[in-house]
A and B are shown apart, each in its own frame.
Chain A
Amino acid sequence: MTFRKYLVLAGVTVFAAAGDSMLSHGMKQTGNISLHHLSGVILAVLNPWVAMGIVLLLAFFASYMNALSWADLTYVLPATSLGYVLLAFVARFALHEQVSVTRWVGIALIAGGVGFVAGSPALTAHGQDELLSSQSNLSGSNFPPFAKGAKDGAPSVDVAQAVSRGNER
């Protein structure tokens, strides 16, 4: 793991939490949208909080895709849930809201879950041949537009981890 990759994971967490809360704040200002008055959606998008929320959620999607390109799905997903923990701390210490005991227990469980994953290797999924083929795609001057599809069959995990470690810069 490089500093740049930790930054991407931080982006996944922060953008998801900030985007969701801005969207929710904006939607409370614009009010309900019914299926019979879909023009309300356009009015909602013009609300600055909603617009900012959408921009932040796009930033979340970009960092999420970025993280999935070098890490397992089961490694990245807990990072997205860390946003809930962040929001609870913002609610308690910046907005001075009451956070119930049930919520603190929920926060502790999520933090514990993230702790379990944080120490494990980011990438376990790919066999040696596929990693090497994606490297050779990059090193060639005329690489094919898309890397080969994921191969079925049990990957050799130890080799994959060794290669992925060697891959990091």
Chain B
Amino acid sequence: MTHLYASHAYTWGGILVIVVASVIGDVLLARAMKQVGDVHEIWDRFGLWTVIARTVGNSNFFLGVSAMAVAFFSLLFTLSWGDVSLVAPAAASLTFIGNAFAAKIFLHEKVDRRRWMAAVLVAAGVALLAG
């Protein structure tokens, strides 16, 4: 019994790490691209290389990609001891909810009632699909 609880604790701990790393990654990437500016405008005026140079040269972009890599490898490790039908949908849907909170707090997005509804519906839908 104790072993079972320990296994559950590890799985949920793994899910928590995946969710936190994904949310940090998404927020950093979103912030990086807002700092870069509207890609279409820059592309039209200065060309594709300017878009690539500004993106790759942004420190938030690198931090975001690193956080995404952490999320990916934690997913792999968690899958190796947890149940796929729990880990994948739980991580995916909790990431949607976490992102809505993080976008409001850190990116100052206007997450109104419609966007909350969207986040909750998508999270529930993803949980049902992958479950």
Contacts and interface: CB of A to CB of B under 8 A. Distances in A.
A interface, over-half SS: helix
Given A74-B111, A114-B118, A124-B110, A69 B36 contact: yes
B11 interface: no
Interface in A1-15: 4-5
Contacts of A111: 125
Given A77-B96, A112-B121, A120 B38 contact: no
A154 B108 contact: yes
Interface string B107-131: 1111110110111111011111101
Given A107-B125, A109-B121, A81 B40 contact: no
A102 B122 contact: no
Given A77-B99, A102-B128, A120 B112 contact: yes
Interface in A107-140: 107-114, 116-117, 119-120, 124-126, 134, 137-138
A151 B125 CA distance: 34
Contacts, number: 150
Given A81-B125, A110-B126, A146 B54 contact: yes
A5 B129 CA distance: 28
> Which range contains the number of B residues in contact with the other chain?
35 or more
A140 to B, nearest CB: 11
Given A81-B126, A84-B126, A146-B54, A113 B119 contact: yes
A156 B30 CA distance: 19
A125 B34 contact: yes
A100 to B, nearest CB: 10
Contact of B30 (A73, A112, A146, A152): A73
A134 to B, nearest CB: 5
Contacts of B108: 125-126, 150, 152, 154-155
Interface of B: 26-27, 29-31, 33-42, 45, 53-55, 57-58, 96, 99-100, 102-103, 107-112, 114-115, 117-122, 124-129, 131
Given A4-B40, A114-B118, A148-B35, 5 more contacts: A64-B29, A78-B119, A109-B128, A150-B108, A167-B38
